[in-house]
Amino acid sequence: MTIGVIDLFDRRANITLFLADEAIWIFLDSCLRRNDLTKTFQTYITFIIFGNPMPIIEVNELVKNFRTFRRRSGLWGSFKDLVNRKYEIVKAVDHISFSVEPGEMVGYIGANGAGKSTTIKMLTGILVPTSGSISVQGLVPYKKRYQHVRQIGVVFGQRTQLWWDIAVIEALRLLQKIYEIPQADFEARLQKFEEVLGIADLLNIPVRKLSLGQRMRCDLAASLLHNPPVLFLDEPTIGLDIAVKSSIRDFIKEINREYNTTVILTTHDLSDIEHLCRRVIMIDHGQLIYDGDLKSLKDRAVGTRRLLVDFILPMGRPGLEKVLAGCPVEMESSNPFHWEFAFDRKKVAAPEIIGQLLSKLEVRDLELENPKIEDVVREIYQQGQK
């Protein structure tokens, strides 16, 4: 283990800390970028006591129940409901646990009604859990709402946090006052947003006149204006065209890289997950069914892979079956020059099939298709429902 020495400079302090872990250095550096010496000292003390930085988000045995009642049909049924209602308990979130380290970008996915939004609302302090515990940057969100919301950024794809009737720049200046952002920091961040998000031409337009893509870019700028350590994104690219999606993804990556911002992303557009997140948490019927990296998820779920091959000479099925004798593959083609081979990677390896074809036939081109994340998620859900 390498011991390093770094100097942390502040207007009021010149402190030398001895560090023994690169991860703690990265997190302390991100705190200093935000001029947050309080968080820096807290993290360093935690490191001294426990030997590593504490997770920025901790969820333990989290439960959220909603009490609902079944409505009876018809007028007479409505009268009955006034006198005698039949209640039932719906478990939106059912004993889930996970932790997120500083700087992680995590995809939080699930079908409609799985419990994603309920979890995010508890993490942001909007809802109070039925049981279990939540800690975000050492704070319990629903108990310390004021302190908590000053340290997080939130973007809901269908709702804007900007004021509908005023210009974007006025809404941003209002947020500057709310978060007590120094003028120099405000101007520097605004310039950054103008460069990366391309909002310079939108600043003097009332929010109500913005298109969905324009509003989403401005909402991202608003959520990051106070440079929060944690960013919650709920469907940030919903309804956007490819070009706008790409610019938003690039912006999120840059913020994460430059400031070590922790990002929790919920979305139904699984291409967002592939572009941004290495780790995926999957929830279904309120229960956590997967927590791990995206590559392992694909390896676990999808057994069948496809190999696309273009031949120089036309090929028939009997000839290919002879070449691939002993290899359990399914083949199909509508063109004798182009064939598709489907195989179970647990029964036969792709290099074995490719080696047989290349050694005995003249191949123009071949492509091994990666499993689509949509197919992966669908298979995981089906496994969870069995």
Judged by DSSP in three states, 280 sits in strand
What is the CATH classification number for the domain harbouring 311? 3.30.70.260
Tell me which residue range forms the domain holding 45.
4-50
* One domain for residues 142 and 236: yes
Residue 6 confidence (pLDDT): 36
At 191-235, the pLDDT tens digits run: 988 888 888 999 999 999 988 888 888 998 999 999 999 999 888
What is the distance between the alpha carbons of residues 197 and 220, in angstroms, rounded to a whole number?
Answer: 9
The reply to whether 179 falls in a domain is no
Same domain, yes or no, for 366 and 284?
A: no
Coil/strand/helix, residue 114: coil
**Domain-located, residue 378:** no
Give the global pTM.
0.70
| Calpha distance 14→11 (Å, rounded) | 8
Q: Are 290 and 315 part of one and the same domain?
A: no
Please, which contacts does 77-80 make with residues 24 or more away whose CB atoms are closer than 8 Å?
A: none
Proportion of the chain above pLDDT 90, given as a percent: 26
Question: Which pLDDT does position 240 carry in this prediction?
Answer: 73
DSSP per position, 215-267: HHHHHHHHHTTT--SEEEEESTTTT--HHHHHHHHHHHHHHHHHH--EEEEE-
**Which of the four pLDDT bands, split at 50, 70 and 90, describes residue 17?**
very low
Question: Domain containing 118 — which CATH number?
Answer: 3.40.50.300
Distance CA 188, CA 165 (A): 25
- 365-376 exposure pattern, b = at least 16 Cβ within 10 A, e = fewer: ebeeeebebeeb
Q: Which residue has the tokens 């091959």?
A: 309
Residue length of the chain: 386
The two beta strands, 262-266 and 279-284, are unpaired
Structure tokens that stand for 15 in this block: 């402190």
Number of domains in the chain: 3
Q: Are residues 111 and 236 in the same domain?
A: yes
Q: Are residues 43 and 97 in the same domain?
A: no
Same domain, 17 and 107: no
Rounded CA separation 373/298 (Å): 7
